[in-house]
Structure 1
Amino acid sequence: MFDVLVFLYETYWRPDACPDHAQLTRKLSAVGFETDEIQEALSWLDGLAAAAQSHQGQQSAQALRLYGKQELDHLGEASVGFISFLESAGVLRPEMREIVVDRAMAIPGSPLDLEDLKIIVLMVFWSLGEEPDALILDELFAAPEERQLH
């Protein structure tokens, strides 16, 4: 599923540039993605659109997020730490964080892989028509072993 999401991010500059589900399914199949993987990704994207719609306009700079046990178990320490890092850096607003958590909780398996969470964060930016700055894009795309220390 995550390969499909990355393909969509790289191919379409925003969600409304994507064709309808039927046409998109045909295109993704032609590119070589499996039907199950496509359907899972499209279903997840529908959930993303719904989550973005329900959190639209909500803003609270003072919002404090406490994670429940189920969320902590599912997200894992690394993912919660990364979300906190993005928040403290001023990159992830509280309403965006809630969308990230919602969509991360929709992914089966625990704990969530950090690289998968990074794709979720990227897709949240994409769904809102926002592009993270270059340093955050580097953080989202580059694997830790690929980074150069200065």
Structure 2
Amino acid sequence: MIDILVYLFENYQDLDAQPGSEALAQSLTEAGFDDGEISFALDWLDGLHSSQIADFVCSPRSLRIYTEEERRRLGSECLDFVIFLEQAGVITPALRELIIDRGLALDEDEVPIDKFKVIVLIVLWSRDQDLEPLIVEELLSSPDDTPLH
């Protein structure tokens, strides 16, 4: 599924400009993706599109306590990355919650950091956030410095 998200990012300037679900599924099939992965990716994207996030303000002294499931499935590496992005001003608390939600929506017991970074990229892209080239490069690179695409 992550490969499909990277494919969409690389081939569509605007997530909202992509074709409807049926046409997109056909396009992804023609690109060589598996039907099961396509179905899961489209469901995941529907969840992203239907997510209503209300922007809220947190005090700089606010503390986000992660649930046991969040700590187990996302692990310290992914959660530390979220904290870093929030402290660097790249994401808001509301985007943090959406990123965590979409990370937990993956069909994996433990989400690897390279996949989680793609989730972050797609969430930022879907919310029309300014994506600096260095941020995109960081989000599309794996721990061993090989690009995911």
1:119 counterpart residue number: 118
**CA 1:25–1:101 in structure 2 vs 1: closer, same or farther (change >3 Å)?**
same
Q: Deviation above 6 Å: which 4+ runs of structure 1? A: none
Q: Distance in 1 between matches of 2:136 and 2:95?
A: 16
Contact 2:114 2:143 in 1 (8 A): no
Distance in 2 between the 1:61 and 1:12 partners? 34
| Structure 2 portions without partners, runs of 5+ | none
Q: What is the deviation of 1:78?
A: 0.6
Q: CA deviation at 1:17?
A: 0.6
Which string of whole-angstrom CA distances, capped at 9 and with x for unpartnered residues, describes residues 62-104 of structure 1?
A: 2532101111111111100111111111101111111000001
Answering whether residue 79 of structure 2 is matched by residue 49 of structure 1, we say: no
- Work out the percentage of aligned pairs sharing the same amino acid: 38
Match of residue 10 from structure 2: 10
Gaps of 5+ in 1: none
SS at match of 1:146: coil
Determine if contact 2:78/2:113 at 8 Å carries over to the other structure: yes
What displacement does 1:125 show? 0.9
Letter aligned with residue 13 of structure 2? W
Name the CA distance, whole Å, in 2 between partners of 1:22 and 1:3.
19
Counterpart amino acid of 1:60?
V
Structure with higher helix content: 1
* TM-score, length of structure 2 as denominator length: 0.90
CA contact (8 A) 1:25 1:38 kept: yes
1:35 has 2:32 as partner: no
Inter-partner Cα distance in structure 2 for 1:125 and 1:11: 16
Query: In 2, distance between residues paired with 1:70 and 1:84?
Result: 17
| Cα distance in 1 for residues equivalent to 2:129 and 2:123 | 9
Number of residues of Structure 1 aligned to a counterpart in Structure 2: 144
What's the Cα RMSD here?
Answer: 1.5
Matches within 5 A, 1:1-150: 1-51=1-51, 54-55=52-53, 57-62=54-59, 64-146=63-145
Which amino acid is the alignment partner of residue 35 of structure 1? D
